[in-house]
Amino acid sequence: MRTLITNGTVVNADGSFRADVLIEDELIAAVGLSGDRSESGQALGALSGALSGEAVDRTIDAAGRWVIPGGIDPHTHMDLPFGGTSSKDDFETGTRAAAFGGTTTILDFAVQTKGEALRPGLETWMAKAEGACAIDYGFHMIMGDVNDATLKEMDQLVEDGVTDFKLFTAYPGVFLSDDGAIFSAMRQTAENGGLILMHAENGVAIDIVANANAAAGLTDPYYHGVSRMPVFEGECVNRVIRFAEAAEVPVYIVHLSSRDALEEVVRGRDRGAMAFAETCPQYLFLSLDDMDNGFEGAKFVCSPPLRPADHQEDLWRGLVRDDLQTVGTDHCPFDFEGQKDLGKDDFRKIPNGLPGVEERMDLVFQGVVNGRMTRERWVEVTSTAAARIFGLAGRKGAIAPGYDADIVVYDPEKKHVLSASTHHMNVDYSCYEGMEVQGHSEIVLSRGRVIVEDGEYRGSKGHGRFLKREVAREYLR
């Protein structure tokens, strides 16, 4: 099967140019410069001359469109048990929704059950995803127990393509690891070439404030937000980056939400720490104000929580300046009716998590529309940087010969309205209900196959494959 995408503008993290893209089976076979050559930057591996003479099975006319590498969402939770229920999207519905939004790879989190080894947890999540996914997927490993046996297991997981480990300073009694456990896991990972991911909020301190608020009768969802103070995130981000410096291991802060945390990442990076961080669309677009609306606020309960609106500008700036490298969603949807209402009388019982896997590319694109970031930086933070950090460089994250043909034909002009009535995520509300955005994923290909076109799903469950990832240490210095 040969497909040619003609007349479009290829947008890569390192430059944009008019080019034809030839796909052979699952891979990009050639990129041929066309039109007025380079608009900006380099055309890595590109041939000069259009490819319009090639014999192909299908031609896609991308005139007026951009041809971008498919999005990589480095942070999703499909089918995750949490707080007595499970996130509503499974790997089938969640990856299909991701595809509609122009994302062609997700990295999800396998969970170690306390008291068990890592491997059974990974196998449980592998089984959930196997045969279900519309797009390619990989796993991070959440470590609940750090001990001699699990430390040894980490090395084997890295060999098997699960190259990073997430630990928590939050959720005492559930996921929380103490300083010793975190530092031990970091030292082990420094040896095996992997990466440490941290949910960095001080869960012990948060619980003291949350319990005091609840005891005082302040039980609305809003108090979930105010209890988890930004300073508790800043404190932990500093602590885990310092530990990582001592262990000489790269560390990646997931879902960074506040100015306090960002400042610690900047300070760490300025010292030369191998510190990286991801933010999420909800922290760029939503705020504590959205939670201040009675129980409606439960729609916005996630951890870390939404912050006062004045943090948003700092996060955008961090994203543009590469203090933040990626945008993940932390997609973890719970229905408003039947799931979020578990915490009707007590914010501490509301399942933590928001939907968002479908909206990520378009939301971050608003930064291009309003002139905050270049289109190349948009591609970098939504795809290329995650490929580098998570061991997918050379396969994902760029339009170049030899790469997987994960490609989005993106219409940068088309406007549409975000709504639960039109989205494809399996959840009964949208955090962005009624919001108009500019930019739309028109045609989406996963490894050479068109999976979304004309607003219809053309893919199939089981097309998506498990990605055995490489260690990426050369990108993590």
Binding site for Zn ion (CB under 5 A): 330
Residue pair 283/306 in contact (Cβ under 8 Å)? The answer is yes
**Which residues on adjacent β-strands are paired with residue 73?**
106
In b/e form, how buried is each residue of 153-176, taking b as 16+ CB within 10 angstroms? bbeebbeeebbbbbbbbbbeeebb
Q: Do the beta carbons of residue 203 and residue 169 sit within 8 Å?
A: yes
Q: Give min distance, CB of 303 to Zn ion, in A.
A: 8
Compute φ and ψ for 71, nearest 5 degrees: -65, 150
Closest separation between CB of residue 301 and Zn ion, Å?
A: 13
Question: Which of 185/332 has CB closer to Zn ion?
Answer: 332
d(CA 176, CA 225): 19
In angstroms, rounded to a whole number, what is the distance separating the alpha carbons of residues 107 and 104?
Answer: 10
Nearer to Zn ion by C-beta: 330 or 380?
330
| Residue pointed to by tokens 């990009």 | 28
C-alpha closest to that of 143 among 128, 153, 132: 153
Q: Rounded to the nearest whole angstrom, what is the least distance from the CB of residue 266 to Zn ion in the complex?
A: 23
**Closer to Zn ion at the Cβ: 153 or 330?**
330
| Shortest Cβ 328–Zn ion spacing (Å) | 8
Q: Label residues 47-73 b or e (16+ Cβ within 10 Å = b).
A: eeebbeebebeeebebeebbbbbbbbb
Least distance (Å) between residue 87 CB and Zn ion: 10
Q: Which of 305, 439 has the CB closer to Zn ion?
A: 305
Closer to Zn ion by Cβ: residue 354 or 444: 354
Q: In the complex with Zn ion, which residue's Cβ is closer, 125 or 403? A: 125
- Other CB atoms within a 10 A radius of the CB of residue 424 amount to 17
In 200-336, the DSSP E strands lie at 251-253, 275-279, 326-327
* Phi, psi angle pair for 324, to nearest 5°: -110, 135
Burial of 117 (0-12, 13-18, 19+ CB in 10 A): middle
Q: Helices (H) and strands (E) in the chain — how many of each?
A: 14, 20
- The distance of closest approach from Cβ of residue 74 to Zn ion in the complex, given in angstroms and rounded to an integer, is 10
CB of 201 to Zn ion, least distance (A): 12
Q: How far is the CB of 75 from Zn ion (least distance, A)?
A: 6
Least distance to Zn ion, CB of residue 17, Å: 36
Nearer to Zn ion, 358 or 442 (CB): 358
d(CA 71, CA 456): 18
Length of the chain, in residues = 477
Partner residues linked to 293 by β-bridges: 295
A 10 A CB-CB count for 81 gives: 11
Based on CB atoms, which residue is closest to Zn ion, 51 or 253?
253
The residue number whose beta carbon is nearest to Zn ion equals 330
Question: Least distance from C-beta 77 to Zn ion, angstroms?
Answer: 6
In the complex, what is the shortest distance from the CB of residue 157 to Zn ion, in angstroms, rounded to a whole number? Answer: 19
Query: Looking at beta carbons only, is 170 or 405 nearer to Zn ion?
Result: 170
DSSP bridge pairs for 275: 251
The answer, yes or no, to whether the previous bond of 221 is cis (omega within 30 of 0) is no
Nearer to Zn ion, 140 or 395 (CB): 140
Cβ proximity to Zn ion, 201 vs 330, nearer residue: 330
